[in-house]
Structure 1
Amino acid sequence: MKKLALAVVVTMASSLCAMAASDVTKSPPPAPYEQVSKLVKLPDFLPGMGALFVDPATLPAGPFLAYDHGGKLVSTIYMLPIKDLNPDKRFDNLAAPGGNVDHVDVYYNAGHPGVPEPHVHVVLWHVPAADEARVAK
């Protein structure tokens, strides 16, 4: 009986972990994520990126979760400060909270509200390249 109870607890815990991992696929994601436009002066939806959410404790790097107009997760974005891209700093074990990554884009950004210093955007796309249009406008 104890083995059966343990098996049930383990199965339930595994299911809860799987559900928690998928919670970020729809907007709004669960705490500790907050809408970026509520934290800094930015629009609710940024063309080319989407509606962004971040755990403020992870700033400036993120991960930022980006959603399309329908509230579906399209990408996970890291904003890595240029000053930290040196031999003394590492960014290890960066998570992809949205699950599978279809492709990755990396590009420079001179800074913006919330991350004012120059940085690199590392975009982990969870959708095919053709579906990036979901956040184009």
Structure 2
Amino acid sequence: MKHILLVSSLIFSSATIAFAHDKEALRQSPPGPPFVQVSDALPLPAFIPGLGTLFVDPASLPAGPFLAYDHDGKLSATIYMTPLEELQAGSAFDGLGLGAHEVSSVDIYYNAGHPGVEKPHAHVVLFHDAEAKGRLAK
């Protein structure tokens, strides 16, 4: 029994350390695979005022998470783009990832569509520190 508890403890500790390492790796641009820079895949500018430089795992589309970096490459926000039509049909977007666990504020607003997420959708923006919104604005 002690052996089973010890092995379970080691596995849990290893998973926790790996998870923390992954989150740390996302703090600076570029985040690495499986994330790709949105502007490399779509006709969008490299830096979008208000959203920053975006990276996404293509397998997580359309909702994301999209990781938003400021001009200095610091992770500033995690953004979700949830299609209104799917929400109205009762779809749920559960278990979406986070770029960082610290969230200082949240903005939610309508978007009529753009390359990559053409249908009307809601942007849900989680800002990761008090200055993040300002850094992404310009």
* Aligned residue in 2 for 1:65: 67
Equivalents in 1 of 2:89, 2:10: separation in Å?
Answer: 47
- Closer, same or farther: CA 10–96 of 1 in aligned 2, 3 Å: closer
Judge conservation of contact 2:54–2:67 (CA < 8 Å) in 1.
yes
Equivalents in 2 of 1:52, 1:112: separation in Å?
Answer: 14
RMSD: 2.2
Unaligned runs of 5+ in 2: none
* Aligned residue in 2 for 1:135: 136
1:87 is displaced (CA, Å) by 5.3
Query: How many residues are matched?
Result: 136
Structure 1 window deviating more from structure 2 (6-15 vs 79-88): it is 6-15
* Cα distance per residue 1:12-39 (max 9 Å; x no partner): 5532331112211110002100000011
* Aligned residue in 2 for 1:52: 54
Judge conservation of contact 2:63–2:93 (CA < 8 Å) in 1.
no
* Aligned residue in 2 for 1:86: 88
Q: Give aligned-pair identity as a percent.
A: 50
- Closer, same or farther: CA 7–83 of 1 in aligned 2, 3 Å: closer
Runs of 4 or more consecutive aligned structure 1 residues displaced over 3 Å after TM superposition: 3-14
Equivalents in 2 of 1:75, 1:12: separation in Å?
Answer: 27
Equivalents in 1 of 2:38, 2:91: separation in Å?
Answer: 26
* Aligned residue in 2 for 1:23: 25
Equivalents in 2 of 1:4, 1:39: separation in Å?
Answer: 46
Equivalent of 1:104, from 98, 103, 106? 106
